């Protein structure tokens, strides 16, 4: 990355991660990450969302200095990576592609081994720090059990404990709930929230939209190595209007009127009708449908139904999800099978 300007320097203390034009082309020619400009505010729980193969792990590897960028750069906790790896990495706890555990060692001994391999860890405080980390992830009672007897969720929590042996300013978690059952997922999500409440910035990747909505304050959406959007989860969802949903005992007549007013993709299920509202940005159609004037107003649409003799039980828009945002921005479904 170029030398930061005075303006950048003023802005950077707030950013836990900042990338500029970060690009990775693998040797085979595969462009895995393309000109990524990411900004992760300090104190956020930042969801890095994208289908499999969209470049999340490659980005995380570059942030951690595990692989070199082809071009562009990254700052982590205000320092350039990988140049400042030695000063930055002790402040970053990372869980990338599952923890490497020795099955024949207990959970506690795994942590001891891990800590002993960390040149920045003070052996005198080791036992105390291990106890605190086990307690943090709720593994105190199981600390003496061999790791091979742990469930996947417990293994993942032990991995998190290893990232928490030292105080961390930033946690980078690559798909932390991957492969877990619903209970295990809930445990990890709760833990992530608790860690964030303590002030740690958490950057987590996921291909699960609802996970990001449940846990994160901010998100970035990736597709095919490119950043599609980033911002607060509330902003991202607000930017996408949800589908119209109407409940009525007169669905046939309601469908006719909704169609006339430009509502598309109508789906009728018994007394419930949903549909896509015409986009406001597109402006009024050149020849407005009969009865419609300019951009569609929800109150007008409701009045039109009632005037048409449709008995309306409920009327409104469904809350948009991140999936709607993704689909509206890319025109593609969020296919996690990738």
Ligand X SMILES: Nc1ncnc2c1ncn2[C@@H]1O[C@H](COP(=O)(O)OP(=O)(O)OP(=O)(O)O)[C@@H](O)[C@H]1O
d(CA 296, CA 277): 8
Token pair of 99 as six digits: 């923890």
Q: Which stretch binds ligand X (CB under 6 A): 56-64, 162-170, 194-202, 316-324?
A: 56-64
Q: Do 317 and 287 contact (CB within 8 A), yes or no?
A: no
Please identify which residue in 19, 23, 34, 57 interacts with ligand X, judged by CB under 6 A: 57
- Tell me, residue by residue from 156 to 195, as one string, x for binding to ligand X by CB under 6 A and - for no binding: ----------------------------------------
10 Å CB burial of residue 270 (0-12, 13-18, 19+) is: exposed
10 Å CB burial of residue 104 (0-12, 13-18, 19+) is: exposed
DSSP 101-120: --TTSBHHHHHHHHHHT-TT
Site for ligand X, residues 203 to 242, rule: CB under 6 A? 207
Please identify which residue in 39, 56, 155, 261 interacts with ligand X, judged by CB under 6 A: 56
In 3-state terms, the chain is what percent helix, strand and coil (to 5)? 35, 25, 40
- Asked if 55 interacts with ligand X (CB under 6 A), we say yes
- Asked if 52 interacts with ligand X (CB under 6 A), we say yes
Please identify which residue in 47, 50, 93, 251 interacts with ligand X, judged by CB under 6 A: 50
Please identify which residue in 47, 53, 99, 153 interacts with ligand X, judged by CB under 6 A: 53
Please identify which residue in 15, 16, 22, 32 interacts with ligand X, judged by CB under 6 A: 32
Nearer to ligand X, 191 or 208 (CB): 208
Please identify which residue in 2, 3, 7, 28 interacts with ligand X, judged by CB under 6 A: 28
- Residue 32 beta carbon to ligand X: minimum distance, rounded to whole angstroms: 3
10 Å CB burial of residue 87 (0-12, 13-18, 19+) is: exposed
- Residue 28 beta carbon to ligand X: minimum distance, rounded to whole angstroms: 5
Chain CA centroid to CA 100, Å:
24
Question: What is the CB neighbour count within 10 angstroms for residue 69?
Answer: 24
Q: Which stretch binds ligand X (CB under 6 A): 46-54, 127-135, 242-250, 296-304?
A: 46-54
């Amino acid at each position: 990355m170029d030398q930061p300007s005075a303006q950048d320097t003023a802005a950077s203390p707030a950013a836990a991660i900042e990338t500029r034009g970060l690009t990775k082309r693998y040797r085979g020619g595969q462009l895995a990450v393309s000109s990524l400009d990411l900004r992760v505010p300090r104190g956020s729980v930042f969801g890095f969302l994208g289908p499999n193969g969209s470049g999340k792990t490659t980005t995380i590897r570059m942030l951690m200095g595990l692989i070199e960028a082809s071009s562009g750069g990254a700052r982590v906790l205000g320092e350039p990576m990988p140049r400042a790896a030695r000063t930055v990495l002790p402040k970053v706890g990372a869980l990338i592609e599952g923890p490497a555990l020795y099955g024949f060692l207990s959970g506690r001994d795994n942590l001891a081994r891990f800590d002993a391999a960390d040149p920045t860890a003070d052996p005198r405080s080791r036992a105390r720090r291990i106890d605190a980390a086990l307690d943090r992830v709720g593994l105190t009672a199981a600390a003496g059990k061999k790791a091979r007897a742990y469930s996947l969720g417990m293994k993942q929590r032990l991995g998190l404990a290893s990232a928490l042996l030292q105080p961390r300013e930033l946690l980078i978690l690559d798909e932390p709930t991957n492969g877990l059952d619903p209970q295990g997922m809930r445990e990890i999500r709760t833990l992530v929230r608790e860690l964030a409440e303590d002030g740690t910035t958490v950057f987590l990747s996921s291909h699960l939209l609802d996970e990001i909505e449940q846990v994160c304050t901010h998100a970035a959406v990736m597709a095919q190595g490119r950043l599609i959007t980033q911002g607060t989860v509330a902003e991202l969802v607000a930017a996408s209007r949800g589908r119209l949903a109407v409940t009525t005992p007169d669905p046939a007549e309601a469908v006719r009127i909704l169609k006339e007013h430009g509502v598309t993709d109508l789906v009728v299920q018994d007394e419930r009708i949903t549909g896509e509202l015409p986009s406001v940005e597109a402006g009024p159609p050149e020849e407005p449908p009969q009865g419609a004037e300019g951009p569609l107003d929800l109150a007008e649409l409701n009045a039109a139904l009632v005037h048409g003799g449709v008995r309306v039980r409920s009327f409104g828009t469904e809350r948009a999800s991140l999936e709607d945002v993704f689909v509206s921005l890319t025109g593609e479904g969020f296919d996690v099978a990738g």
